[in-house]
């Protein structure tokens, strides 16, 4: 056997073993239900990853609700885009902007409570396949919402409904309750090297 074909054979054998391990894992994962995902950490991608899943869900004909707890601007690319599908998507911008902009915790709390009233409805609606609670974690950090009440509503949701919660500093009990948790770590950010937040990339 030539050196090349030996190498190819080794690659084949290694990949065959890897395939057996992965196939066994796939066979073991047979439960069908909606999941609770949490995208947290300081890096870019927490909300974008949620919006990517929105696109994916829409591609399967699903119905989606997005509730934005902090964002107050309504000129984002994602909102403009997903609003083209009013039959499938409900999009609620409920924030008052970052709390260092409002500098008024009473107003922030009222906004978060109003957002939660909408979110709670969506979490009780079996016709909604995916609920995105965007930047909700800040509501726990600043004490605008009661975490136990939110977790109870999430736990009581329809069995096939998937929920995504995004935002920095997800509280431990939320991570505990979640099925999939990604910590988006920032290794680098263009903003820090002087690049302006560009439309189509950052908003």
Binding residues among 142-161 for a copy of itself as defined by CB under 8 A? none
140 forms beta bridges with none
- Which residue of 6, 52, 73, 74 would you call a contact of a copy of itself, by CB under 8 A? 52
Which of 141, 90, 134, 89 minimizes the C-alpha distance to 116?
134
- Classify burial at 58, counting beta carbons within 10 Å of its beta carbon; exposed 0-12, middle 13-18, buried 19 or more: middle
Write the binding mask 71 to 110 for a copy of itself: x where contact by CB under 8 A, - elsewhere: -----xxxxxxx----------------xxxxxxxx----
Task: Give yes or no for residue 175 binding a copy of itself (CB under 8 A).
Answer: yes
Spatial separation of the C-alpha atoms in residues 65 and 87, rounded to whole Å: 11
How many residues bind a copy of itself (CB under 8 A)? The answer is: 82
| Closer residue to a copy of itself (CB): 31 or 148 | 31
- Pick from 24, 28, 148, 156 the residue near a copy of itself by CB under 8 A: 28
What gap in Å lies between CA 149 and CA 25, rounded to an integer? 35
Cβ distance to a copy of itself smaller for residue 84 or 156: 84
Closer CB to a copy of itself, 117 or 183, in the complex: 183
Q: Please report how close the Cβ of residue 93 comes to a copy of itself at its closest, in angstroms.
A: 14
Query: Which residues are registered as beta bridge partners of 90?
Result: 65
Is residue 171 at the binding interface for a copy of itself, with CB under 8 A as the rule?
no
Nearer to a copy of itself, 38 or 94 (CB): 38
* Whole-angstrom distance, CA of residue 19 vs CA of residue 4: 22
Interactions with a copy of itself, residue window 176-195 (CB under 8 A): 178-191, 193-195
Q: Which lies closer to a copy of itself via its Cβ, residue 88 or residue 113?
A: 88
HSE-CB of 137 using CA atoms within 13 angstroms: 20
Note whether 116 binds a copy of itself by CB under 8 A: no
Q: Is the dihedral of CA 185, 183, 160, 31 positive or negative?
A: positive
Q: Is 11 an interacting residue with respect to a copy of itself (CB under 8 A)?
A: yes
C-alpha distances in angstroms, 74 versus 30, 108, 113? 40, 18, 19
């Amino acid at each position: 056997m030539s050196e090349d074909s030996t190498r190819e054979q080794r690659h084949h054998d290694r990949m065959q073993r890897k395939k057996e391990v992965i196939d066994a894992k796939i066979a073991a994962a047979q439960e069908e239900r909606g999941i609770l995902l949490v995208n947290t950490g300081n890096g870019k991608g927490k909300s974008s990853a949620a919006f990517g899943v929105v696109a994916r869900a829409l591609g399967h004909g699903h119905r989606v609700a997005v509730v934005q707890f902090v964002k107050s601007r309504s000129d984002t690319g994602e909102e403009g885009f997903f609003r083209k599908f009013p039959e499938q998507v409900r999009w609620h911008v409920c924030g008052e902007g970052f709390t260092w902009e409002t500098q008024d915790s009473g107003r922030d709390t009222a906004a978060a409570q109003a957002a939660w009233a909408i979110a709670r409805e969506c979490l009780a609606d079996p016709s909604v396949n995916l609920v995105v609670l965007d930047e909700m974690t800040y509501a726990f950090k600043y004490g605008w919402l009661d975490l136990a009440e939110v977790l109870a509503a999430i736990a009581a949701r329809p069995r096939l409904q998937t929920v995504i919660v995004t935002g920095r500093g997800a509280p431990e009990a939320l991570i505990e309750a979640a099925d999939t948790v990604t910590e988006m770590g920032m290794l680098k950010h263009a903003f820090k090297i002087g690049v302006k937040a560009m439309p189509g990339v950052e908003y």
